[in-house]
Structure 1
Amino acid sequence: MTDKVKGRECWIDVAKGIGIILVVLGHVTRNENLIRIIYSFHMPLFFFLGGWIINRNCGKNIINKQYIKKKFTNLILPFFEYRIILVLYWYIFEYRFRELDVGPIWFLPVMFFSYMIISFIMPYIKSTNAKRVVFLFFALLVIVGLLFRQYVYKLNIVLLNEVYVNSIRVLTGCSWMTAGMKANDYIINSKKVNCGLVFGITAIVCIVLSFVNGDVSLFNLQFGKSYVLYFLEGICGITAVLIVSKVISSNRLIEYLGQSSMIIMAFHEPIKRVLFFVYDAVVTKFVVEGTHEVIRTTVTGSVILTTITLVVCISVVYIFRKLIEKLPDNKWCEMLFAFMK
């Protein structure tokens, strides 16, 4: 493996690491301004990076039995394993206190089907113009699909609603993946461009547009006032993250977060709730109005709680990975613990 490829992989892991930090922060905080900014681009970032990575296969026929099996093992199998673990955890500890939900792992099957669609049309995407057309095609499909949302919901058919919602998510994911494919690292690598200036401009534009466009959430199919603004703010936020990632280039801690992003995505919610319970049990004995709900409304408090949550997540992941290393090296163990990759 060349140094160039290593460097490229390092900064992509850094970008994923920044992305998962923002995901956890977005779920921890109750600061509405912070949530609005983070949600404007944090989930699109992962689809964008997926497209950026797969871009090397443009014009090639990559979808085959081996490719599908690999993506299934990396995304769908962990999804079911996470689901089983989280349901068991909920049944043992939480069923009296909260309703069961799918949690952040909804992202995994959406990513899988987005990969399948993009891989299927990959042989026909050979030029920048082709990528532009495909991007516009997927974006148009989403816009048309959203126009029929109220009619689909009026039918009140659970299965149809689920198919509709996930179809819009997948098509939006395809749009972001195509945007990632179309993107290149000219701005990040070019010596003619001041990275600090570009970061400042894109970050400011992202923040401004996030307030102009309103609430955004791919999970809830919220795209603000305009789908166009949704993509503009997302592109600006993603560009800012990519510039920071390229400048950092390599950081073992953030890279580890990026490499463990899927595991953290799945388990940070229950870890967060346990942390809140412990925090309230300890802090409220000394501070009357110091519950986690109070501290979550502040940026500083949210960052502190997010940091602690991530430290616990990393510690748990590290310990389990060390234990798994001692297990026999066979396909059954590999499948059983696919969620720990």
Structure 2
Amino acid sequence: MDNKRYGFLDIAKAIGIFLVVWGHANPPYGVVKLIYAFHMPLFFFVSGYLFSFSKHPTAREFISVRARQLLLPYIFLNIISYLFWLLISRNFGIDNAADVPVYKPLIGMIYGNGMDDYLHHCVPLWFLTCLFVVEVLFYLLFKNLKQKVLLLIVFALLAYADHYFGIVRLPWGTNIALTAIVFYSAGHIAKDLLNKVLASNKLMLIVFAAILFGVMGVIALRNGVPDMNARVYNNYTLFIIGAFCGTFALLSLSKFIELSIRNISYIQFISVNTLAILGFHKMLGEVVKGVLVFAFKVPATVFAGSVVYSFALSVAEMICMVPLILFINAYCPIILGKRTKKANQPAHA
């Protein structure tokens, strides 16, 4: 991955992972439409932007590195979240009514299928195997290719066909990867052009963000809730356009924020630990809700469909995540695929 520091990407990733957390906190349907319109494409796009062929001279070395950074956390996070579900979630709270056999998530871990309760214990982990497939495909197919845009279009057509005609869910999110690689390769190919656009003054950045968010909002209201994990895009063309509009809008806004504030170290902390947040926020969300419901007698129904309560719950999850992240980075960084115990170094992927 590219070792150069990009503050605006740290900001975009921090906002993006908060949207992931908020989207899983049962906000109103309108909020879900807006979040799901672009939040996962954003992460694939940013990963492609940061990728560098020059840093990984051989496929073997690249696959080995990314297996450690993605598949090792996938294994550890699956084990931890499965045990949490088996011992706690399955016996207390809302999930104790779910009729999910104990063996089904184990099958899902191996197959990498986030649908139909196969990753019931932690659905967001579908992203890790899918990103691994995307990056391996991109490295093998794009490395020595001059017509990268042409292959991007080919993948877009394959994804379009899979959306309408695909029946079987392939392992490790390979079907999803056909769509995800469109955003990943676009991030890599459009890097220089994007940098030129983001070199605009703050006024223009805000104008870009406002216009693109507006377009995305109109598309989101018309196209419903897309779900990459479920391979549900509704109108596929509208999904692609809306996802790119939302991604570019957030990147423009993030660049504006970078130019407007001096210290983004706390944002970088969130950015570098997005993997931990992805893997643990569902568990922490259940703990936070459990404390509020059982200890403070807050009705469980207040969280459903409320902007205020779902947002507040998401903020609480992010705050509770800090000590957990510090502990993991200090004592067991291997869970997150890290070799060192350095917790606060900005991420580059």
Using the size of structure 2 for normalisation, the TM-score is 0.81
Q: Deviations over 1:209-257 (max 9, x none)?
A: 0011112000111102x21110111011111111122122261222111
SS of the aligned residue for 1:92 comes to: helix
Structure 2 vs 1, CA of residues 164 and 94 (structure 1 numbering), >3 Å: closer, same or farther?
A: closer
Which residue number in structure 2 is paired with residue 15 of structure 1?
12
Structure 1 position 259, deviation (Å)? 0.6
Whether the 8 Å contact between 2:133 and 2:174 is mirrored in structure 1 is no
CA distance in 2, matches of 1:262, 1:297: 26
Q: 2:205 is matched by which residue type in structure 1?
A: C
Q: Is 1:5 matched with 2:13?
A: no
Structure 2 vs 1, CA of residues 139 and 279 (structure 1 numbering), >3 Å: closer, same or farther?
A: same
Which residue number in structure 2 is paired with residue 267 of structure 1?
280
Which residue number in structure 2 is paired with residue 104 of structure 1?
124
Which residue number in structure 2 is paired with residue 57 of structure 1?
53
SS of the aligned residue for 1:209 comes to: helix
CA distance in 1, matches of 2:327, 2:202: 45
CA distance in 2, matches of 1:26, 1:120: 33
SS of the aligned residue for 2:197 comes to: helix
Q: Deviations over 1:63-106 (max 9, x none)?
A: 42211110000001110111111111122212231445142111
After TM superposition, what 4+ stretches of structure 1 lie above 3 angstroms from structure 2? 60-63, 334-337
SS of the aligned residue for 1:28 comes to: coil
Using the size of structure 1 for normalisation, the TM-score is 0.83
Q: Is 1:175 matched with 2:170?
A: no
Number of residue-to-residue matches in the alignment: 307
- Supply the RMSD in Å over aligned alpha carbons: 2.5
Structure 1, unaligned runs of 5 or more: 153-160, 285-289, 325-333
Structure 1 position 321, deviation (Å)? 2.1
Structure 1 position 182, deviation (Å)? 2.6
Which residue number in structure 1 is paired with residue 337 of structure 2?
338
Q: Is 1:229 matched with 2:238?
A: yes
Query: Percent of aligned pairs with the same residue?
Result: 24
Higher-Rg member (1/2): 1
CA distance in 1, matches of 2:72, 2:172: 21
Structure 2 vs 1, CA of residues 337 and 30 (structure 1 numbering), >3 Å: closer, same or farther?
A: closer
Q: 1:321 is matched by which residue type in structure 2?
A: N
CA distance in 2, matches of 1:203, 1:234: 10
After superposition, where does 1:247-326 map in structure 2 within 5 Å?
247-249=256-258, 251-284=264-297, 291-324=299-332
Structure 1 position 125, deviation (Å)? 3.8
Structure 1 position 291, deviation (Å)? 2.1
Structure ranking higher in helix proportion: 1
Which residue number in structure 1 is paired with residue 154 of structure 2?
137
Q: 1:322 is matched by which residue type in structure 2?
A: A
Structure 2, unaligned runs of 5 or more: 106-119, 344-349
Structure 1 position 164, deviation (Å)? 6.9
CA distance in 2, matches of 1:338, 1:167: 22
